[in-house]
Amino acid sequence: MNVMTVPLAHYIALSAVIFFIGVAGVVTRRNPLIMLMSIELMFNAANLLFAAFARAWLNNAGHIFVFLVITVAAAEAAIGLAIVVTVFRSAHTVDVDDVALLKG
Amino acid sequence: MIAFWILAVAMIVSAIWCVTASRPIYSVVALLGNFLMLAIMYLTLNAEFLAVIQMIVYSGAILILFLFVIALLSSGIAPFSVGPDRLPRIAYPAIALTLIALGFLTWALVRTTVATPAATANGAALGPVGTPDVFGSVGDFGTALFTTYLLPFEITALILMVAVIGVVLLAGDRAPYVATKKRAADVKREMREAILREGNQ
């Protein structure tokens, strides 16, 4: 129970790989829904790291942090999807590059 | 250890599938697989409550929200799909930069030794509540959440309320209420007329 069977570095590496897959998704895709899902991937990578460190240090604070991050992710997804729906209603497109009103 | 590798490979594959899928609905399916793997990984990390709320909140609530929005947007005139190579010129530099950043991180990870506390070696908990026997159980988590971390828990309620208000304001039935001087003058005039009407009757 006290010793982790998997070294902590493995979790850090996995979390980094998933985080950067999410970064690549946000940077390359222009579909706002897939961009939002990539952001969720990044949230999850951070959550995995919190849980792994909490397990390594046997400290509850990491779990509380994951709880907070999940709350923020839920709020972010709801508001982001509301923005997507609003944009689609007014502009009839969901391509991020077409929504460039503030670009000047 | 074997479970970790199976889960890790599955998570990476599903994450790549999620990012490169041609349609958002495939992305949702891949993300669902990723979340389920992550929930199992939480279980291997003694985080039972986190595994449960990962399934309920992420797989149950957020992904269903995504599905509803996809259904809503694709029910109209335009089929809702944007190809994976929507920006072919930026895709390869972006992936290259991502790989370079990942390489830097790996390099830093190899160079440093990750600090693990010496106190866990003899089983003593460093946390305010956590003890080795009950670490990560629902009771342990709840006790920590409602005693030591009560303020963050209440801030959570505030965050969710702000999200609800924002969503209703953004995507509600009526247009967002924008306060202007003209509208304020209109409201004042309507109130005055209403008062006059009441006085006449």
Least reliable range by pLDDT among A54-63, B130-139, B183-192: B130-139
**Any idea how long chain A is?**
104
The question of ipTM being above 0.90 is answered as no
Tokens found for residue B119: 């106190």
Residue B45 structural domain: 1-75+121-143
Among the listed residues B66, B131, B94, the one whose alpha carbon sits nearest the alpha carbon of residue A73:
B66
Instruction: Give the closest of A52, A61, A71 to B127, CB-based.
Output: A61
Is residue B19 a part of any domain in this protein?
A: yes
A101/chain B closest Cα distance in angstroms: 18
Q: B111 in helix, strand or coil?
A: helix
Is residue B112 a part of any domain in this protein?
A: no
CATH value at residue B132: 1.20.120.1200
Is residue B31 a part of any domain in this protein?
A: yes
Is residue B39 a part of any domain in this protein?
A: yes
* B145 alpha carbon, distance to own chain's centre: 20
Tell me the mean pLDDT in the region A40-49.
Answer: 94
Query: Between vectors from CA B114 to CA B8 and to CA A5, what angle results, nearest 5°?
Result: 50
Question: B34–A41: do the CB atoms touch at under 8 Å?
Answer: yes
A11 or B137: which leads in pLDDT: A11
Q: How many domains does chain B have?
A: 1
* The pLDDT of residue B71 is above 60: yes
**How far apart are the C-alpha atoms of B130 and B145, rounded to whole Å?**
11
DSSP designation for B113: P
Tell me what the pLDDT averaged over chain B comes to.
Answer: 79
Is residue B132 a part of any domain in this protein?
A: yes
- Tens-digit pLDDT profile for residues B128-171: 444 555 777 788 888 888 998 999 999 999 999 999 998 888 87
Tokens found for residue B88: 């072919």
Is residue B177 a part of any domain in this protein?
A: no
Is residue B44 a part of any domain in this protein?
A: yes
| Residue appearing with tokens 């629902």 | B138
**Any idea how long chain B is?**
201
Substitution target in A4, A19, A31 with the highest count of B β-carbons within 10 Å is A31
| Residue appearing with tokens 């992305």 | B27
B190 or B154: which leads in pLDDT: B154
CB A41 within 8 A of CB A27: no
Is residue B162 a part of any domain in this protein?
A: no
CB A96 within 8 A of CB A30: yes
Tokens found for residue B8: 């890790």
- Tens-digit pLDDT profile for residues B4-18: 999 999 999 999 999
**Alpha helices in B57-180, H assignment, sequence order:** 63-74, 88-111, 138-143, 150-171
**Alpha helices in A4-104, H assignment, sequence order:** 8-28, 32-57, 61-91
